[in-house]
A and B are shown apart, each in its own frame.
Chain A
Amino acid sequence: MKSLKQLFSGGARQFGMVFALAALIAIFQFTTGGKVLTSTNAQNIINGNAYVLILAIGMVLVIIAGHIDLSVGSVAAVVGIVVALAIRDWGIPWWLGVILGLVVGALIGAWQGAWVAYVGIPGFITTLAGMMLFRGANQYIGKSNTIPVPSQIQYLGAGYLPEWGPNTGLNNSTLLLGVLAIVFTVWVEFRRRSKAAKLNGAQMPVMVSVIRTVLIVALLGYVTWLFGSGRPGTSFPVSGVILVVLVIVYHFISARTITGRHVYAVGGNRAAAALSGVNIKRTNFVVMLNMSLLSALAGIVFIGRSTASGPFDGTGWELDAIAAVFIGGAAVSGGVGTVVGSMIGGLVMAVLNNGLQLMGVGSDRTQIIKGLVLLAAVAFDVYNKVQGRPSIIGTLFRNRRNDIVSPGTSEQPSVPVSAGETAARG
């Protein structure tokens, strides 16, 4: 049992949500007669949800810091229309359009960050205002028209990686990415073992490493095959590549940099953070600015997928992103959450949507089910915390090193969820 726990880094329980995702996929695979795990459908899931997952990356940092951002959909929409119009009417190249969009996103983020951090308006209020303000701006700028975008932008949102080289039966770009991921996994495992030995001489059983590596490699191999074996001309989607790069970058930032630690510190105990030399205002500013920057990127990816920017783009995205973050184990009171957890939360929602749709369930019942899943996931998490058990995946990737430093003592602190805390803590 102890070895089994080591196998899953932080205790098997913490993988609850991963298992839930796997079970969900398995159930839908069964009930739809195998329509879920096809190349086309998997590509669709990624293409159709990349923008929400990009938003969730920013949102989890906002929520860890103790804020909330309701404006992300409107910000994405206003950036979308600016990019589409600038390319069509001003004739600027598509890449300049993308840069322009990101600059606009950053400016909007600076605006909202300034209100939150330096004036002290709660994020809830600032971004509620932003939600209206930037929705209106989108419709004002675009005169409520739908503006098409060029093919290069469409490539970002719905494109596939190129075909090249010998005929392997798979898309070679996807194959290359898969091989790189596998090599990386093996390297990480070796590094983990050598570090464990160096730090305190405690050595994990070889079998644990082998089984874990084999499992992950098998999963990666399957995913590579799944995405690479679609009809010719398709691959792992470009939007998925953008997403994976962002996840790696932001996981690293949140877990391994001083900036990331400061975000957790501000959300965990603001007064203690201030007395530890954390610049609270700057941290809040950066978190809000980053959210709008990622909203801009999500908006660009979305107009690429839908081939045009319209007046109602991004409606309700903020709720999807927030749901993904909370299903992924973040705490309403701040201080807790992970980027990777939020991705899993987002994928749970995405697979639910997709599977129910394939089953022919209407959007009415789909929404009911999604609502219940969100409630159940968070309730389960809260229940576990009340029982003094660890958050399901809230701590999953934040402390991967547990098994290195002290095998068997991977229990995480129980985190009381204070009912009086509001999500809009400024």
Chain B
Amino acid sequence: MTDGPVILEMRSITKVFPGVRALDRVSMQVRAGEIHAICGENGAGKSTLMKVLSGVYPYGTYEGEINYLGEEVRFKDIKSSEHAGIVIIHQELALIPELSITENIFLGNEVKGSLGIDWAEARRRAVDLLARVGLDESPDEVIKNIGVGKQQLVEIAKALSKNVKLLILDEPTSALNEDDSAHLLDLLRGLRSRGLTSIMISHKLNEIAAIADSITIIRDGKSVETLDVGAGGVDEDRIIRGMVGRSLEARFPEHTPNIGSTFFEVRDWTVEHPQVPGRLVCKGSNFHVRRGEIVGFAGIMGAGRTELARSLFGRSYGRYLGGQIFIEGRPVTIHTVQQAIDHKVAYVPEDRKALGLNLLDTIQDTVVAADLRRISKRSVIDPDAAYLAAERYRKALNVKANSVTEGVVKLSGGNQQKVLLGKWMFPEPDLLILDEPTRGIDVGAKFEIYGLINRLADAGKGVVVISSELPELLGLCDRIYTIFEGAITGVVDRADATQESLMRLMTGAASAATH
């Protein structure tokens, strides 16, 4: 399909922020009816480019030229780009949780009747739109009651309601599980066959390789190359090579595990959902971690991996019903997060902005936040100790920042993740539970974090990695537990594990096969 006419051409776009040249003469061409992917590491400038295109950064705040449908366009805000048929769906969904699907679809774009809004017509159109995106929900359903995957479909329906000609998707599948992702990609294919052009930003290179017709690669604010997928020879490694400017020999650093004895063990851990009595999110889970071991937890989203981790971490999730934690063979009581920290357990949450970081804080304040006593005397904080500690972790973790007094809000996702890891390494835990430690960060930062996890294991700590990406678990972990609907369904050694075997256990298809 890459032989259609050029619908969009961005020429020599330069966007400068104070002190940073975010885009440096970036050019790209999108042909009608194709799915055009934009790839690049975090901070490479992908989102900035799309904000230029959609008018978030209005004409005049950037240099360069945008030609769309054969003429030069100068958008002054999002409204004017939407008017031209360019609709952007942001990574963080912009739906109002308390409103219905219909209300959300037509929010800001209401169907006018003779007296105010014509809700009957709006609802009729909503039904139609939902059918087009293949979403089987009542248009009166409230957004908060449907899952993230379906919410993403509502976003697309909303875009379609605006007569979209060019749809921009920023990380559309980052919050979705595999099923929902597959469904979404199918939908995009279907829309393509009906002539819709889309631009997609994604870190999931396998998805891009599978769906995109052409790929523009951006590196350090410059457009590096455009790959034509139809011409063949484009696979994940080829994309990575373009993104990082070199070929990553391996996506995982070499590591020879040095595994000691079991020091952390959980028996019969049972937890009830905090709001829904009787619904168990952990069903008598048993597992153990050895010193120097990297243990993976695989499971589809909602299977209970995060719930297990957080309920272990000072019962910070759900209602505890039963079970016992043993450290070095001795039963311990961990009722609060502080007790968990005191017992040398750390939990690095998956959602670093909502649960991990205080975005108002500096790097320094963040790194020491989980163990202020370490840098205090009689509850009085020694700022020099805090500075030195933060500086040590900044160097050790290779955080790209001028100084530790910089705010974490300014850092890229990968660097924020490193700071968050630093925050939980600072209390010097024996067990680190890392929940989706590489979500939404770029290939280079991922490699660094894998190396860091290996170093933690080599230092004799136990590391638990929760991940939705099976290749990541297979590349990193010594042993992998699978979880299905709150129950641990199996444990597989690295040598025996394949994506297929894990997937069977994760979906409950072969729960009795191992043990």
A→B interface (CB under 8 Å): 195, 198-199, 256-259, 261, 264-265, 268-269, 271-279, 335-336, 388, 399, 401-402, 405-406, 409-415
Contact among A261, A277, A335, A413 with B381 in the assembled complex (CB-CB below 8 Å): A261
Contact B402 A276 (CB under 8 A): no
Given A268-B358, A269-B357, A335-B358: A275 in contact with B404 (beta carbons within 8 A): no
Contact A258 B372 (CB under 8 A): yes
Q: What are 23 pairs between A and B in contact, CB < 8 Å?
A: A256-B380, A257-B380, A258-B376, A264-B365, A268-B358, A269-B354, A269-B357, A269-B358, A272-B349, A272-B355, A272-B356, A272-B357, A276-B337, A276-B369, A277-B338, A335-B360, A399-B405, A401-B383, A405-B403, A410-B405, A413-B409, A414-B407, A415-B360
Chain B residues within 8 Å of A271, by CB? 354-355
Contact A336 B383 (CB under 8 A): no
Q: Does B387 contact A (CB under 8 A)?
A: yes
Interface centre among A336, A411, A414 (most CB of B within 10 A): A411
Chain A residue nearest to B341 in the complex (CB):
A277
Chain A residues within 8 Å of B498, by CB? none
Chain B, range 304-330, C-beta contacts under 8 Å to A: 310, 313-314, 316
Q: Does B75 contact A (CB under 8 A)?
A: no
Chain B, range 263-317, C-beta contacts under 8 Å to A: 310, 313-314, 316
CA distance A411 to B253 in the complex (A): 36
Chain B residues within 8 Å of A195, by CB? 384
CA distance A210 to B373 in the complex (A): 36
Kindly provide the distance from the CB of A23 to the nearest chain B CB, expressed in whole angstroms.
27
Contact B405 A199 (CB under 8 A): no
Kindly provide the distance from the CB of B280 to the nearest chain A CB, expressed in whole angstroms.
22
Kindly provide the distance from the CB of B428 to the nearest chain A CB, expressed in whole angstroms.
14
Contact among A268, A273, A410 with B359 in the assembled complex (CB-CB below 8 Å): A268
Contact B407 A272 (CB under 8 A): no
Kindly provide the distance from the CB of A413 to the nearest chain B CB, expressed in whole angstroms.
2
Contact B358 A265 (CB under 8 A): yes
Kindly provide the distance from the CB of A251 to the nearest chain B CB, expressed in whole angstroms.
13
Contact A258 B354 (CB under 8 A): no
Contact among A198, A388, A399, A406 with B18 in the assembled complex (CB-CB below 8 Å): A388
Given A199-B388, A276-B337, A405-B405: A256 in contact with B383 (beta carbons within 8 A): yes
CA distance A264 to B362 in the complex (A): 12
Contact A257 B337 (CB under 8 A): no
Chain B residues within 8 Å of A257, by CB? 376, 379-381
CA distance A374 to B358 in the complex (A): 28
CA distance A401 to B386 in the complex (A): 12
Contact B379 A258 (CB under 8 A): yes
Contact among B338, B356, B403 with A406 in the assembled complex (CB-CB below 8 Å): B403
Chain B residues within 8 Å of A335, by CB? 358, 360
Chain A residues within 8 Å of B360, by CB? 264, 268-269, 335-336, 413, 415
CA distance A335 to B366 in the complex (A): 14
Contact A199 B387 (CB under 8 A): yes
Chain A residues within 8 Å of B220, by CB? none
Contact B405 A274 (CB under 8 A): no
Chain A residues within 8 Å of B361, by CB? 264-265, 268
Chain A residue nearest to B407 in the complex (CB):
A413
Contact B376 A413 (CB under 8 A): no
Chain A residues within 8 Å of B340, by CB? 277
Chain B residues within 8 Å of A405, by CB? 387, 403-405
CA distance A256 to B376 in the complex (A): 9
Chain B, range 336-352, C-beta contacts under 8 Å to A: 336-338, 340-341, 347, 349
Contact B379 A261 (CB under 8 A): no
Chain A residues within 8 Å of B383, by CB? 256, 401
Contact A261 B365 (CB under 8 A): yes
Q: How many of chain B's residues have a CB under 8 angstroms from any CB in A?
A: 44
Contact B409 A414 (CB under 8 A): yes
Kindly provide the distance from the CB of B48 to the nearest chain A CB, expressed in whole angstroms.
14
Chain A residues within 8 Å of B338, by CB? 277, 279
Chain A residues within 8 Å of B369, by CB? 261, 265, 276
Chain A residue nearest to B365 in the complex (CB):
A261
Q: Does B503 contact A (CB under 8 A)?
A: no
Chain A residues within 8 Å of B316, by CB? 274-275
Contact A402 B384 (CB under 8 A): no
Contact A406 B381 (CB under 8 A): no
Q: Does B225 contact A (CB under 8 A)?
A: no
CA distance A199 to B410 in the complex (A): 24
Q: Does B140 contact A (CB under 8 A)?
A: no
Chain A residues within 8 Å of B379, by CB? 257-259
Chain B residues within 8 Å of A413, by CB? 359-360, 362, 406-410
Contact B337 A277 (CB under 8 A): yes
CA distance A402 to B369 in the complex (A): 19
Chain A residues within 8 Å of B89, by CB? none
CA distance A277 to B370 in the complex (A): 7
Interface centre among B313, B336, B405, B407 (most CB of A within 10 A): B405
Kindly provide the distance from the CB of A415 to the nearest chain B CB, expressed in whole angstroms.
6
Chain B residues within 8 Å of A410, by CB? 405
Closest 10 CB pairs of A and B: A413-B407, A268-B358, A406-B403, A277-B338, A269-B358, A277-B337, A268-B360, A335-B360, A258-B372, A413-B409
Contact among B337, B380, B381, B404 with A274 in the assembled complex (CB-CB below 8 Å): B337
Chain A residue nearest to B352 in the complex (CB):
A272
Chain A residues within 8 Å of B357, by CB? 269, 272
CA distance A32 to B347 in the complex (A): 62
Given A272-B355, A388-B18: A261 in contact with B403 (beta carbons within 8 A): no
Chain A residues within 8 Å of B410, by CB? 413-414
Contact A256 B355 (CB under 8 A): no
Interface centre among B358, B359, B408 (most CB of A within 10 A): B358
Kindly provide the distance from the CB of A283 to the nearest chain B CB, expressed in whole angstroms.
12
Chain B residue nearest to A259 in the complex (CB):
B379
Chain B residue nearest to A411 in the complex (CB):
B406
Chain B residues within 8 Å of A415, by CB? 360, 409
Chain B residues within 8 Å of A277, by CB? 314, 336-338, 340-341, 370
CA distance A285 to B168 in the complex (A): 47
Contact B365 A199 (CB under 8 A): no
Contact A275 B347 (CB under 8 A): yes
Chain B residue nearest to A269 in the complex (CB):
B358
Contact among B18, B337, B402 with A275 in the assembled complex (CB-CB below 8 Å): B337
Given A261-B381, A265-B369, A413-B408: A273 in contact with B402 (beta carbons within 8 A): no
Given A258-B381, A279-B338: A412 in contact with B376 (beta carbons within 8 A): no
Kindly provide the distance from the CB of B176 to the nearest chain A CB, expressed in whole angstroms.
22
CA distance A170 to B408 in the complex (A): 50
Contact A409 B372 (CB under 8 A): no
Chain A residues within 8 Å of B314, by CB? 277
Kindly provide the distance from the CB of B212 to the nearest chain A CB, expressed in whole angstroms.
33
Kindly provide the distance from the CB of A401 to the nearest chain B CB, expressed in whole angstroms.
6
Contact B372 A261 (CB under 8 A): yes
Contact B373 A258 (CB under 8 A): yes
Chain B residues within 8 Å of A388, by CB? 18
Contact B403 A409 (CB under 8 A): yes
